[in-house]
Amino acid sequence: RGAAGSAGAGGAGAEDIARLVLLGTPSRGTMSAFQILNTGFALTMSPREIFTMPSAYQLMPAGRDGHFLDLQGKPVDVDLYDAATWVRNGWSVFDPETGRGPGSDGEAGLFLQRALDRARALHAAMAIDGPDGPPVPVNLFGSACMPTLDQVVLEAASDRVRLQFPDQSPTWRNARERGKIALIPGDGTV
């Protein structure tokens, strides 16, 4: 169906949906997407390649609260959807140590801000319920829970704020303690 007949914020088209099953869909987002944007995916895709995929940004968490911690485990207020934050801190393709940038920071920064704005708009649209709640019944299922990335530790450096992921941080001395504060039950990704 076209956009006019889709089940949008007003629920138009919901009567045509008998059942919708989503398995492992990060509807509320996942910090694993943020990690992949910064470290790449396995050996097959570098951050430079993933940087160009708008859907990667749409998989990040919707809100800005609670996803970043300092080295003591206290929340840090960071706007995940501000491209200037990424550029200033050398995140993803803006990392000066690896020199993996996609071209001029200006062009890449503009692309990034458009992708982040589009992701924020998607999250806002998904958060809208009809006056009586969701227009389609929602059922949630859980299985064996595995540690799943929900928070990233930020380490202040003289030139920027460095990202410390639980499975990749050589500077974090006690990885087990770090994992306790950065991981929540999930399926390992979502």
140-156 pLDDT, tens per residue?
776 667 778 888 888 88
Look up residue 68 and give its two tokens. 């970043």
Q: Which residues contact 74 (CB under 8 A, 6 or more apart)?
A: none
5 — pLDDT class (breaks 50, 70, 90): very low
Question: Can you give the pLDDT at residue 25?
Answer: 72
Greater pLDDT, 100 or 111: 111
Cα gap 166→182, rounded to integer Å: 7
Within a 10 A sphere around the Cβ of 150, how many other Cβ atoms? 18
Question: Can you give the pLDDT at residue 1?
Answer: 35
DSSP structure class, residue 180: H
Question: Can you give the pLDDT at residue 133?
Answer: 73
Is residue 165's pLDDT more than 60? yes
Average pLDDT over residues 64-76: 83
Contact 101, 51 (CB under 8 A): no
Looking at 2-11, 27-36, 179-188, which range is the least confident one? 2-11
Is residue 83's pLDDT more than 90? yes
Is residue 7's pLDDT more than 60? no
Looking at 48-62, 69-83, 89-103, which range is the least confident one? 89-103
Share of the chain above pLDDT 90, in %: 23
Is residue 126's pLDDT more than 70? yes
Is residue 99's pLDDT more than 70? no
Question: How many residues are present in the chain?
Answer: 190
Torsion of CA 61, 30, 140, 7, to 10 degrees: 50
